[in-house]
Structure 1
Amino acid sequence: MLSEIKAKLLIVDDLPENLLALEALIKREDRQVYKALSADEALSLLLEHEFAMAILDVQMPGMNGFELAEMMRGTEKTKSIPIVFVSAAGRELNYAFKGYESGAVDFLHKPLDIHAVKSKVNVFVDLYRQRKAMKQQVEELERSRQEQEALLRELKSTQNELEHAIRMRDDFMSIVSHEVRTPLNGLILETQLRKLHLAKDNASAFTMDKLKAMVDRDERQIQSLIRLIEDMLDVSRIRTGKLSIRTSPFDLSELVVNLVESYAAQIAAAESVVTLHASEPVIGVWDEFRIEQVVANLLTNALRYGAHKPIQVRVYSEGSEARVEVKDQGIGISAENQKRIFQQFERVSASHAVSGLGLGLFISDQIVAAHGGTISVESEEGCGSLFRVSLPL
């Protein structure tokens, strides 16, 4: 409400009795009256407070009321304060002109008319309160507009995130369907073929060598399904903060040597060659299963994207860190893609038809981070990639 806005009034006169008399006329509970006996005192108060109006005596020693008004009009903080002059010089026209030129909005003549003083002060106080109320309303409207704009931006951002999440979900379901179907189709075809041989009593299809080949093929397809399921379970564990890390001392070099040896079939299938540099033991305290999972992911990616070219794997220690590097000479990764490949369901490029859910690097990054380490990539499109895992010893 307007009455809740307290108005400050300034009265300036070199005679204390005039100040007291004027204060008695205009003072009310919702107003605060400040008194000054000189222009200098008035200027100090004007710089300190915001006044609804100023009542200035014209004839004062030193700086008179006109001069004070001119100074007020020349100062940004005080130029809009309504000024009412009090004069005992009568109603001469030239005198009034000088007052208005100095910035007066009205005159009071001595002896003061009590009703006129109160009425004029009420008018200027009401105008001040209306301006203040309007300013507050404008500020509130501006705040509301800014809040609405911020809310719209937030809603737009949320909408974009939801649309992105829906696209990711659809892409993920498409990838999962394809990735799960591939090993399942292999198992189904193998089963149907065996049923056909059994229906025809074709015992020659089940010699020891052929049975061994069948079992090997079945095992590869089953392992592919297990890896898919484990990756999805790991993502769920990471999201819920339940990714378990069980540390114990072991030799990182030995782990990588054994892993590369176990990948002989995959390396041959990728028509590639892996050169391993792990001549010195690198002993540290980590989760052996999880670190093997990280290196296996990097080696698998190198074989997928390595364009059948040689791959280098290096294990070494530097300072207080253990390092594993996997370097290929394949398709490489653009600077833009390097920013996203460690996110969920992201792969190097949709233009390269390769298998996988796009979870390997995301899971690897989370595992390495859980050990207090980092995983980084150095790459250029068409020039291969170097992935480096750094783990505190």
Structure 2
Amino acid sequence: MLLSEIQAKLLIVDDLPENLLALEALITREDRTVYKALSADEALSLLLQHEFAMAILDVQMPGMNGFELAELMRGTEKTKNIPIVFVSAAGREMNYAFKGYESGAVDFLHKPLDIHAVKSKVNVFVELYRQSKAMKHQVEALEQSRREQETLLAQLKVTQGELEHAVRMRDDFMSIVSHEVRTPLNGLILETQLRKMHLARDNAAAFSMDKMQAMVDRDERQIQSLIRLIEDMLDVSRIRTGKLSIRPSTFDLSHTVANLLESFAAQISAAQSQVNFTVCQSVTGQWDEFRIEQVVSNLLTNALRYGARKPVDVSVYVEGGNAIIDVRDQGIGISEENQQRIFHQFERVAGSDVVSGLGLGLFISEQIIAAHNGTISVHSTLGEGALFRVSLPLVQKS
């Protein structure tokens, strides 16, 4: 802020109107506003309403005189720092001037007033006021800048933490991808090398129909594992770009889940578990059948993976205008802390020697269900298994 832009307010107090007009004429300029008061009471009222650069007080006034007004000003927080100049026609007795200084005056003028002295003194106090205001603005600006810098620094620290977390997630993800992709690839490579060895030895017995069927089944499982990994990564990309497609059609949810469980027979057997399916009625609605199958597959895969070889219960029913799918296992359970993060990208439940996968299944599942205007939740206690519940509205919002 430029000094010339700071408007100064001046207060003059005298019980004679002609004195006020004369003094006002001396000190008035475009960059100043002069306020006049005919008594100490009027002056006090103005002092409470405005911020003054200085006050010029006549000493000899009826009622409260200038010295008493000055003492009141010095005792009030709002006015105690206003420079006071006394004006008196009582002569130049030293003790009278000293009384003025004791009352808080910074200067003393005698009548008749010296025009040049009055103008000079007022100019000095106005300039001091402007410099003080400019300094205050600079201090406030510096303080505001300091607060903004502290806020920016805090934001930078948060951003740095987020970036470090993102880098760790990226490194962890690349490590997981490398491991998960290598597993089916290693299986396919070993199968291929084994067949090449049998072919090199003309071992036709290794290619009987039963053995060929087993080879094809193994290959298919490894290829499906690779496809699932690739599809999960593609789905994450679609979700980030808002291109996850939902194609609703009318179907029976109970029938779809029943068929899905049949296709899981080999995985259920490999997990040395069993699945109990409960359905009370036909549950028909409009959803994306492929995507709902994807969600249930993720939940069932996790239940078998973390279910400690104990039975898994799946049920489909209607409650409160929503289709409900429950998948409950009796395995290791999920801590309250982990329940808050398992629906995030690349997050997996720790504490089990069967941990595998990219940690994307629940993240993708939540996005799919959200796209259907539904919800997915988890209820679990460590060591007591977990219940995942999917709720889908029977009637989709238009």
TM-score (norm 1): 0.96
More displaced 10-residue stretch of structure 1: 346-355 or 18-27: 346-355
| Structure 1 counterpart of 2:276 | 275
Distance 1:2 1:350, change over 3 A: farther
The Cα of 1:190 is off from its aligned counterpart by 0.6
| Structure 1 counterpart of 2:150 | 149
SS in 2 for 1:249: strand
| Structure 2 counterpart of 1:322 | 323
Contact 1:13 1:19 in 2 (8 A): yes
The Cα of 1:228 is off from its aligned counterpart by 0.3
| Structure 2 counterpart of 1:221 | 222
User: What is the distance in 1 between the residues matched to 2:59 and 2:249?
Assistant: 93
| Structure 1 counterpart of 2:27 | 26
Contact 2:248 2:288 in 1 (8 A): yes
The Cα of 1:37 is off from its aligned counterpart by 1.7
- Are residues 1:302 and 2:303 paired? yes
Which sections of structure 1, spanning at least 5 residues, go unmatched? none
| Structure 2 counterpart of 1:48 | 49
| Deviation sequence 1:281-328 (CA, Å, 0-9, x none) | 222211111111111111111111111112111211111212111111
User: What is the distance in 2 between the residues matched to 1:63 and 1:249?
Assistant: 93
User: What is the distance in 2 between the residues matched to 1:284 and 1:91?
Assistant: 103
Name the amino acid aligned to 1:30.
D
Contact 2:305 2:354 in 1 (8 A): no
Which sections of structure 2, spanning at least 5 residues, go unmatched? none
Name the amino acid aligned to 1:170.
D
Contact 1:85 1:106 in 2 (8 A): yes
Name the amino acid aligned to 1:336.
E
| Deviation sequence 1:56-78 (CA, Å, 0-9, x none) | 11222233222222222222221
Contact 2:59 2:66 in 1 (8 A): yes
- Are residues 1:202 and 2:184 paired? no
User: What is the distance in 2 between the residues matched to 1:367 and 1:107?
Assistant: 84
Contact 1:257 1:278 in 2 (8 A): no
The Cα of 1:29 is off from its aligned counterpart by 1.7
| Structure 2 counterpart of 1:388 | 389
The Cα of 1:28 is off from its aligned counterpart by 1.4
SS in 2 for 1:313: strand
Q: Quote the RMSD (CA, aligned, Å).
A: 1.5
The Cα of 1:131 is off from its aligned counterpart by 0.9
Contact 1:305 1:330 in 2 (8 A): yes
User: What is the distance in 2 between the residues matched to 1:166 and 1:331?
Assistant: 29
| Structure 2 counterpart of 1:249 | 250
| Structure 2 counterpart of 1:186 | 187
Distance 1:351 1:275, change over 3 A: closer
| Deviation sequence 1:235-281 (CA, Å, 0-9, x none) | 00000000001112222122111111211111111111211121212
The Cα of 1:95 is off from its aligned counterpart by 2.8
User: What is the distance in 2 between the residues matched to 1:382 and 1:66?
Assistant: 85
More displaced 10-residue stretch of structure 1: 47-56 or 57-66: 57-66
The Cα of 1:350 is off from its aligned counterpart by 6.3
Query: Structure 1 runs of 4+ off > 6 angstroms?
Result: none
| Structure 1 counterpart of 2:263 | 262
The Cα of 1:349 is off from its aligned counterpart by 1.3
SS in 2 for 1:104: coil
The Cα of 1:200 is off from its aligned counterpart by 1.1
**Match runs of 1:60-79 below 5 Å:** 60-79=61-80
Aligned length: 393
| Structure 1 counterpart of 2:161 | 160
| Deviation sequence 1:109-136 (CA, Å, 0-9, x none) | 1111112211211121111111111111
User: What is the distance in 1 between the residues matched to 2:26 and 2:353?
Assistant: 89
User: What is the distance in 2 between the residues matched to 1:294 and 1:41?
Assistant: 80
Name the amino acid aligned to 1:268.
S
The Cα of 1:41 is off from its aligned counterpart by 2.1
The Cα of 1:98 is off from its aligned counterpart by 3.1
